[in-house]
Amino acid sequence: MSGARTNTLATLRGRIERIEAHGDAYAPNKVPLGHAGADATLRGGLALAAVHEVFAEGHQSAAATGFIAGLAGRITARRPLVWVRQDFSDIESGALSMSGFSELGLDPRCLVTVRAADADSALRTAADALACDALGLVVLEVWGEARQLDLVASRKLTLAAQASGVTALLLRLAATPQPSTAETRWIVRAAHSPPGTPSMPAAPSMPAAPWSTWGAPVFDAQLVRNRHGPVGRWIMEWKCDECLFSESAAYPQPVAAAPAHRPHQARDGELQRRAG
Amino acid sequence: MGSCSAELDKTPSVVVAKQNNALQIYALDDLAARCGLEVGLPLANARAICPELTVFDADAAADAKTLGDIADWCDRFTPLVALDPPYGLFLDITGCAHLFGGERALLQIVSGALTRRGFAVSAGIAGTSVCARTMTRHVSGKIIADGEEADAVSPLPVSALGADAAITSGLRRAGLKTIGDVAARARHEITARFGAGFTTLLEQALGQGDAPISPRKPLPDYIVEKRFPEPVATEGVISATLSRLAAMLVTAMDRQGKGARRLEVSFFRTDGAVRTIMVDTGRPVTRPEVIDRLFRERLDALNDPLDPGFGFDLVRLSASRTEIVVQQQRDLDANVHDNDELAALIDRIAARIGGKRVVVHLPQDTHIPERAVMAMPAQHHLAAAGQAAWPDRTESEPPLRPLRLFEKPEPIKVPFATVPDGPPHHFTWRRVTHAVVRVEGPERIAMEWWKQDGKALTRDYFRVEDEAGLRFWIFRDGLYESEARGAEDKPVPVNWFVHGLFA
C-alpha cells in the first residue's frame, strides 16, 4: 500500500516537474557563438527554436546586418534561410549583397529573399516561414517603428518557432525596443578595426596614419535582455574563415563590466535615429 | 455576332466617329436605319434627313472592352472563344452543344441572355466559321447543317461576305448581286479580278475549307467545373466548391501522371462578370490540399476582394500548365523532403505577395558590382540557385565586398582627396560628415567597354572606415584628370559615390 502511494506521489511529482519545465525552464538546444564571454553569459550559446532581436540605429544598419549574418552562419550552415525584408529597408540602407554575404563565409545558395511591400506582409510571411520545419532560420528585417510587431505578434512568432524548431532573428533598424517575448535582445554598433601595420607601403606624399589594416568585421554587441541569464557587452570579431565570433585581439579587456542584475529598458535617448 | 446599341426614348440614335476629317456615322440602331440612314453617311446629312437624331461619340476602346467582357462570359459555353473585331465573336462549340441541350437550345441560351442585357444579337451555327459569320450578317438564329453551306449562303447578297468595300462594289458593278452568282463563275476569273484572298473567303463561306479561329486563351490541359442552379455567394460554399473541384482536378491529372504548374479559377457571376484568379507553382502540384491552400492564400491577399454580387452560377478550375510528375522516394532522403517543403512554402508566399517578390540569387559573369548578382523568382530558379557556382572567397582576407549594396550609388561630398588620385580625407553622406580613419584601395573597376552601355567611367573603389568604426565602400567616378574632363578639355571636379556598407 505504502509502495503504491510512494509510486503515485512520484508520478505526480514527475508530472508537476514536467509541467513546470515546459512553462518556465524551457531548455532548447543551443549553439555556441565562439566568443567565450558571450557563450558563458548565454550558458552555452544562442538558443535555437526561439526569437532573438537585434536592434541598431539607422546608420549602424550594416553592422547589425553583419551581426545577424554571423548569427545565421552559426545557427545554420547548410539548411535553407529565408530573409524577409521590406522594400523601404533596401532604399534606406541598401539591399543585401550576395557577394558580401559570401565574403563573410556564408553560402548564398541557401538564401531565399522575400521582398515584402510593408511591415504587415513581412510579418505574416515570416510567421508562415517559421511554421516550415525545412528551414534552418528565418530573418525578419523591419525598418523603423512598427506597431504591428507588438507583444502579441512576438508571442506568435515565439510559439511558431518553438513548434517548428526554426530559429527567428528579428533585425530592427532605427527602432526602439518594445516589450517582447524574445529570448535575447542585442543592440549592435560597429567597432573599430584593430590597429595594425600599414596595409600599403606609405608613399612619400602620403600620411602614414590612415593606411592601417582593414580587419575582419568587428561588432560592439550589447546584450540588453536575456530571459534566462545575465546580460553583458562585448566586442566581437567575426572570423570569416572559421565562420564564428571571437574575442577581438585589439580589445583584450571587456569594455564594460557585465552587470549582474537584469537591466532596465534600454535607454531611449540612445536610440534616436540619426540621419546618415 | 452582335451589334450593340441602346434604344433610348424611341428616338433614332447613331454613333459617330471622325473619318476623313468629317463626322460620319459609325453605328446606328434600327430606328435610324428605318429613317434611311446608313453607316458612313456624314452626320450633317443624317441630321438633315432626321433632325431628332441622338448622337453618341464612338469609343473604340470601350467597344473592345465590352466585346472582351462578352467573350469572358461566353467562356462558360466553351473554352475556345475567339474575337472577331469590331463586333463579332466566334465560339467553337465542337463537343460542347450537348451539355446545353443541343445546338438549337445553346443558340437560344446565348442570344436570349445577351438580348436580355440590351445587346442586339445576330447569331448562327455553321460548319465553318466564315460561313457562320456570313450568315449572321443577314439572318439570325439559323443553324446550317454540314454540307448545306453553299445552299444556305447562295441567296445572300455579296456584302454579307464582309470583303473590302472596293471588292463588294466591284462585284455589284459586274452584275454579281448574290453569293450564288459569284460562286457560279469560274474561280480563276474571280481570282484574276479580285485576288486570291477573296477566292479563299468565298470558298470558306461556301463550306469548302475552313479558316482556323484563334482563341483568346490557350486551351487548358484540364478543366473541372461546378454549375449551380441557384447562384451562391457565401464564402463557405465557395471554398467548399473549390476544395471539391481541386479533388476532381487532381483525380483527372493523376490518371495521366501529371501535376499542375499553373492553376486558374474562374468565377462566373450571374450578371455576366467573370473574375479569373491565377496561381503559379514552382513544382507540379499533385495534392488537392495544396491547391486549396494556395487559392486560399491568394484569395485572402487580393487587393480587391472577390465580389460575389448576386452570386456565382459557375466556378471553373483549370490547370493551364501541367508537367509529368516524377515520383521520388521520400523517406530515405531528408533533403528531398526539405526541398519539397521549401518549394511549397515559396509557392504559398508567392501566391500571396506575388512570384517576383520571392527571389533566389544567381551569380553573373561580370565584375560590375551592381550586376554581379541577379535576383530571380524563386519558384522557377530554386534548383539552379542551389547549384550555382559562387566565386570562392580569399582565405584570411577581410571581406572585399560590402554586405549592403545600394542599387544606385549615392553621391557624397568630398572637399578634397589626400592626394589627387587618392582616397578622401573626409566626406559627407546624407548630411553627416565622416572623417576617414582607415583606407584600403584603390580597387580599379573598368566598365565593360565592349558592351553597348559600357561607356561609363572607370571607378576607383576604396574601402574606408570612419572614426566611429562604420565602413563604407566609396568610389571616384572617372580617373583623375584623364577621363573627367569638361567641355574645354579642362579637368572638372570628379564625383564621389558611396556604393555600399561593410559590416
Residues A208-236, mean pLDDT to the nearest whole number: 81
3-state secondary structure A36-78: HHHHHHCCCCEECCCEEEEEECHHHHHHHHHHHHHHHHHHCCC
CA A83/CA B266 separation, integer angstroms: 34
Chain A residue closest in CA terms to B424: A210
Residues A75-83, mean pLDDT to the nearest whole number: 88
Which DSSP category does B1 fall into?
-
Confidence category of residue A22, pLDDT binned at 50, 70, 90: low
The pLDDT value given to residue A70: 93
Confidence category of residue A139, pLDDT binned at 50, 70, 90: very high
Residues ≥6 apart with Cβ < 8 Å to B297: B348, B351, B352
CB of A41 closer than 8 Å to CB of A257 = no
The pLDDT value given to residue A254: 46
Confidence category of residue B2, pLDDT binned at 50, 70, 90: very low
For chain A, where are the E strands, in sequence order? 30-31, 46-47, 51-56, 81-86, 95-96, 111-116, 137-143, 167-173, 184-190, 218-226, 232-239, 244-247
Q: State the CATH number of the domain containing residue A52.
A: 3.40.50.300
Q: Mark yes or no for CB contact B503/A63 under 8 Å.
A: yes
Same structural domain, B110 and B42 = no
Residues ≥6 apart with Cβ < 8 Å to B487: none
Residues A111-126, mean pLDDT to the nearest whole number: 92
Is 60 exceeded by the pLDDT of residue A232?
Answer: yes
Same structural domain, B70 and B48 = no
What cell was used for B134? 456570313
A273 in a domain, yes or no?
A: no
Q: Mark yes or no for CB contact B358/A113 under 8 Å.
A: yes
Q: Mark yes or no for CB contact B470/A114 under 8 Å.
A: no
Number of structural domains (chain A) is 1
Same structural domain, B146 and B168 = yes
Residue A209: CA atoms inside 13 Å, Cβ hemisphere, count? 7
Number of structural domains (chain B) is 4
B374 in a domain, yes or no?
A: no
B216 in a domain, yes or no?
A: no
Is 50 exceeded by the pLDDT of residue B309?
Answer: yes
Q: Mark yes or no for CB contact A121/B352 under 8 Å.
A: yes
Same structural domain, B48 and B83 = no
* Tens digits of residue pLDDT in A173-182: 999 998 899 9
A272 in a domain, yes or no?
A: no
B364 in a domain, yes or no?
A: no
CA A16/CA B486 separation, integer angstroms: 82
B29 in a domain, yes or no?
A: yes
DSSP state letters, B298-351:
HHHT-SS----TT-EEEEEEEEEEEEEPPP---TT-HHHHHHHHHHHHHHHHHH
Q: Mark yes or no for CB contact A96/B359 under 8 Å.
A: no
Confidence category of residue A204, pLDDT binned at 50, 70, 90: very low
CB–CB contacts below 8 A, A to B: 215
B245 in a domain, yes or no?
A: yes
A207 in a domain, yes or no?
A: no
B168 in a domain, yes or no?
A: yes
Same structural domain, B465 and B452 = yes
Residues B434-444, mean pLDDT to the nearest whole number: 87
The pLDDT value given to residue B490: 62
Residues B313-323, mean pLDDT to the nearest whole number: 91
Residues B13-20, mean pLDDT to the nearest whole number: 88
Is 90 exceeded by the pLDDT of residue B19?
Answer: no
Which DSSP category does A193 fall into?
P
- Percent of chain B beyond pLDDT 70? 93
The pLDDT value given to residue A251: 59
Q: Taking CB atoms and an 8 Å cutoff, what residues of chain A touch B381?
A: none
B389 in a domain, yes or no?
A: no
Which uninterrupted H or E stretch holds A163?
A: helix A151-164
* Tens digits of residue pLDDT in B24-35: 998 888 888 888
Same structural domain, B53 and B180 = no
Is 70 exceeded by the pLDDT of residue A269?
Answer: no
A10 in a domain, yes or no?
A: no
Q: Output phi, psi for B361, to 5 deg.
A: -115, 135
Chain A residue closest in CA terms to B364: A99
Is 80 exceeded by the pLDDT of residue A94?
Answer: yes
* Tens digits of residue pLDDT in B129-157: 888 999 998 888 889 888 888 888 889 98
Confidence category of residue B456, pLDDT binned at 50, 70, 90: confident
A175 in a domain, yes or no?
A: yes
CB of A80 closer than 8 Å to CB of A110 = yes
Same structural domain, B38 and B100 = no
Looking at chain B from residue 405 to 444, which residues have their Cβ under 8 Å from any Cβ of chain A? 405-407, 418-419, 422-423, 429-432, 434, 436-440
Handedness of CA A190, A196, A201, A202 (dihedral sign): positive
Q: Mark yes or no for CB contact A190/B438 under 8 Å.
A: no
The pLDDT value given to residue A172: 93
What cell was used for A202? 606609405
Chain B residue closest in CA terms to A200: B440
Residues A221-250, mean pLDDT to the nearest whole number: 88
Q: Mark yes or no for CB contact B403/A112 under 8 Å.
A: no
Q: State the CATH number of the domain containing residue B257.
A: 3.30.1490.100
Is 50 exceeded by the pLDDT of residue A68?
Answer: yes
A147 in a domain, yes or no?
A: yes
> Which CA distances in Å does B435 have to A192, A251, B255, B445, B480?
13, 22, 70, 24, 22
Which residue range forms the structural domain that includes residue A84?
A: 28-196+217-259
Is 90 exceeded by the pLDDT of residue A222?
Answer: yes
- Percent of chain B beyond pLDDT 90? 33
* Tens digits of residue pLDDT in B48-78: 988 888 899 999 899 999 999 999 999 989 9
A9 in a domain, yes or no?
A: no
CA A55/CA A225 separation, integer angstroms: 11
Q: Mark yes or no for CB contact A115/B438 under 8 Å.
A: no
Looking at chain B from residue 390 to 409, which residues have their Cβ under 8 Å from any Cβ of chain A? 390-391, 393, 395-407
A174 in a domain, yes or no?
A: yes
Same structural domain, B73 and B40 = no
Distance from CA of B432 to the nearest CA of A (A): 6
Confidence category of residue B487, pLDDT binned at 50, 70, 90: low
Same structural domain, B285 and B177 = no
SS3 A232: strand
Confidence category of residue A208, pLDDT binned at 50, 70, 90: very low
Same structural domain, B113 and B154 = yes
Is 80 exceeded by the pLDDT of residue B8?
Answer: no
- Cβ–Cβ contacts within 10 Å for residue A62, how many? 25
Is 90 exceeded by the pLDDT of residue A130?
Answer: yes
Looking at chain B from residue 127 to 186, which residues have their Cβ under 8 Å from any Cβ of chain A? none
The pLDDT value given to residue B263: 93
Same structural domain, B77 and B172 = yes
Chain B residue closest in CA terms to A274: B432
3-state secondary structure B70-126: HHHHHCCCCCCEEEECCCEEEECCCCCHHHHCCHHHHHHHHHHHHHHCCCEECCEEC
Same structural domain, B141 and B93 = yes
CA B298/CA B308 separation, integer angstroms: 16
Q: Mark yes or no for CB contact A218/B429 under 8 Å.
A: no
Is 80 exceeded by the pLDDT of residue A258?
Answer: no
B369 in a domain, yes or no?
A: no
The per-residue pLDDT of chain B, averaged, comes to 86
Which residue range forms the structural domain that includes residue B464?
A: 404-502
Q: Mark yes or no for CB contact A114/B339 under 8 Å.
A: no
Distance from CA of B111 to the nearest CA of A (A): 46
CA B357/CA B347 separation, integer angstroms: 11
Chain B residue closest in CA terms to A125: B349
Best residue of B361, B421, B436 to probe chain A, by most A CBs closer than 10 Å: B361
The pLDDT value given to residue B212: 85
Q: Output phi, psi for B279, to 5 deg.
A: -135, 130
B272: left (phi over 0), alpha (psi -120 to 50) or beta: left
Is 50 exceeded by the pLDDT of residue B370?
Answer: yes
Confidence category of residue A24, pLDDT binned at 50, 70, 90: very low
**Long-range CB pairs of B160-166, under 8 A, 24+ apart, other chains included:** B160/B134, B160/B135, B161/B134, B161/B201, B161/B202, B161/B205, B162/B133, B162/B134, B162/B137, B162/B201, B163/B194, B163/B198, B163/B201
Residues B303-311, mean pLDDT to the nearest whole number: 86
Looking at chain B from residue 351 to 390, which residues have their Cβ under 8 Å from any Cβ of chain A? 352-353, 357-361, 363, 369, 372-373, 375, 378, 382, 385-388, 390
Chain B residue closest in CA terms to A215: B398
Chain B residue closest in CA terms to A131: B345
Distance from CA of A235 to the nearest CA of B (A): 12
Q: Taking CB atoms and an 8 Å cutoff, what residues of chain A touch B349?
A: 114, 125, 128-129
